[in-house]
Every structure is written in structure tokens, then in C-alpha cells.
């Protein structure tokens, strides 16, 4: 019972932490925030490669790769709708409730909840990734012209989507039969998001010891914890 509560609460806590960070830092401009984003990308990529990938290929053959590619393509479509919030971008401000953004992030968050019903490492990877995303999202929403209760509604729905995905996986037997394929789609999503974060962390090709350090730390933690 305690593990179930832990599973459902951590993603929600991550969104709350992201909101608090948005009040303290300026996501996108803060060097500390950029380091957190780079760490989250490295950790998420490492957990995906070290745990999720071997698991899906142990259950299915090469055809599973098709679903990984479908997940990658799905994430490209979702980022067209979200404008890249998943890896640290907000380029515009809304005058009305951003429905397409909510739909995109909800699909992303719902799917990422499916494979973490039993995997604490992946749960931690999702949580670490969700904190900077929630921070950027909070800044965007607070600067927009939508009402405060709509900001609360948006963040609440966003926070609940990942636990909802985990709950659905546990309580709908039909999803178990398709679990390897759903997980493969999630792998494609994670690969796209995490590699984009890491690519953009070094897009000016200048050496940054702090950034390199947090990326290595993210990889090592994913491997040893």
C-alpha cells in the first residue's frame, strides 16, 4: 500500500516542486535551472537505455523497434502542439486557455505513467524530468493572460496524468497484453525528449565543466542506484 501511494504521489510532488522553482528561479535564463534540465535529460536517457530497452527486447523480437520509432514520431507530433515544453521551451504567451498544450502534455504524461508501475528507477527518472518541465510550464502559465484558477486547473490535470497512467496499467487487464508495445512507444518518447535536452545543452559546442559534470552524474546515478 505504501509503495502504491509513493508511486502516485511522487509525480504530483514533482509538479509542485517545479511550480515552487518557477517562483524562485527564472527557467531558461538561470544557469542552475539549465544544469537541472541537463541532469534530468541524462538521467532519463540512462534509465531508458539501461532498463527499459533491454526489458522490451527480452519480451519481443525486432518488431518492437517499430513501436519505438512510432513513439519517437508521436513525440514529434506532440511537440508540434506543445512547442517543446518537454525539453525546456516556451516561445509564446497565451491569451486563452491553452487546450492543445494541455492535450499534448496529457498524452505524454499519461503514456509515461504506464511503464513505472513496478520500476522505481524509472519513476525517479520521470520525476526528475517532470520537475524542470513543470517549472517552465508554470512560468508560461503565470505570465499568460489566463485566470489563476485556470492555471491551477492546468497544473492539476498535468500532475495527475502520470499517476493515472500507472493506475490504468494496474487495473485494466487488457493493457497487460500490450505492455511491451506501450513501453516501446514510451521508449521512443523518452529517447527523443532526453536526447533533445542533451543536444541543446551543448548546442554552442563550448566546453562547460558544470554541465558535463551533471550529465555524467545523471548517468552514474541511473547506473548505480
Number of domains in the chain: 1
pLDDT score recorded for residue 210? 82
**pLDDT tens, 138-170?**
888 888 878 888 889 999 999 999 999 999 988
Residue whose C-alpha is closest to residue 141's, from 96, 78, 106, 107: 96
pLDDT score recorded for residue 88? 58
22 contact partners, CB below 8 Å, separation of at least 6: 134, 135, 136, 138, 139, 142
Residue whose C-alpha is closest to residue 83's, from 142, 147, 140: 140
pLDDT score recorded for residue 119? 57
CA atoms within 13 A on the CB side of 154: 25
pLDDT score recorded for residue 96? 77
What's the whole-model pTM score?
0.87
Give me the average pLDDT of each 10-residue run along the chain (225 residues).
73 92 70 80 90 81 87 91 67 71 91 79 85 86 85 93 91 85 92 85 64 88 81
pLDDT score recorded for residue 109? 92
Q: Can you tell me which residue has the cell 499534448?
A: 104
- Residue numbers of the domain that contains 106: 2-23+31-224
Greatest C-alpha distance within the chain: 50
Residue whose C-alpha is closest to residue 83's, from 101, 96, 103, 107: 101
pLDDT score recorded for residue 146? 84
Alpha-helix residue ranges (DSSP H) falling in the chain:
2-24, 31-47, 53-59, 64-82, 99-113, 120-143, 148-171, 173-177, 179-201, 209-224
Amino acid at each position: 500500500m505504501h509503495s502504491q501511494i509513493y508511486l502516485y504521489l511522487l509525480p504530483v510532488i514533482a509538479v509542485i516542486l517545479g511550480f515552487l522553482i518557477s517562483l524562485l528561479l527564472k527557467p531558461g535564463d538561470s544557469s542552475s535551472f539549465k544544469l537541472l534540465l541537463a541532469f534530468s535529460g541524462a538521467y532519463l536517457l540512462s534509465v531508458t537505455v539501461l532498463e527499459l530497452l533491454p526489458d522490451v527486447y527480452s519480451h519481443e523480437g525486432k518488431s518492437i523497434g517499430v513501436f519505438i520509432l512510432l513513439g519517437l514520431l508521436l513525440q514529434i507530433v506532440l511537440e508540434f502542439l506543445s512547442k517543446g515544453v518537454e525539453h525546456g521551451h516556451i516561445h509564446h504567451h497565451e491569451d486563452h486557455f491553452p487546450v492543445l498544450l494541455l492535450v499534448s502534455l496529457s498524452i505524454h504524461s499519461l503514456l509515461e505513467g504506464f511503464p513505472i508501475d513496478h520500476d522505481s528507477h524509472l519513476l525517479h527518472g520521470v520525476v526528475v524530468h517532470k520537475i524542470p518541465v513543470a517549472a517552465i510550464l508554470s512560468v508560461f502559465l503565470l505570465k499568460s493572460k489566463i485566470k489563476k484558477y485556470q492555471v491551477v486547473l492546468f497544473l492539476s490535470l498535468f500532475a495527475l496524468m502520470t499517476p493515472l497512467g500507472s493506475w490504468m496499467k494496474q487495473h485494466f487487464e487488457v493493457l497487460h497484453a500490450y505492455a511491451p508495445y506501450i513501453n516501446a512507444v514510451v521508449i521512443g518518447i523518452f529517447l527523443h525528449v532526453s536526447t533533445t535536452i542533451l543536444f541543446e545543452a551543448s548546442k554552442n559546442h563550448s566546453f562547460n565543466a558544470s554541465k558535463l559534470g551533471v550529465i555524467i552524474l545523471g548517468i552514474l546515478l541511473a547506473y548505480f542506484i
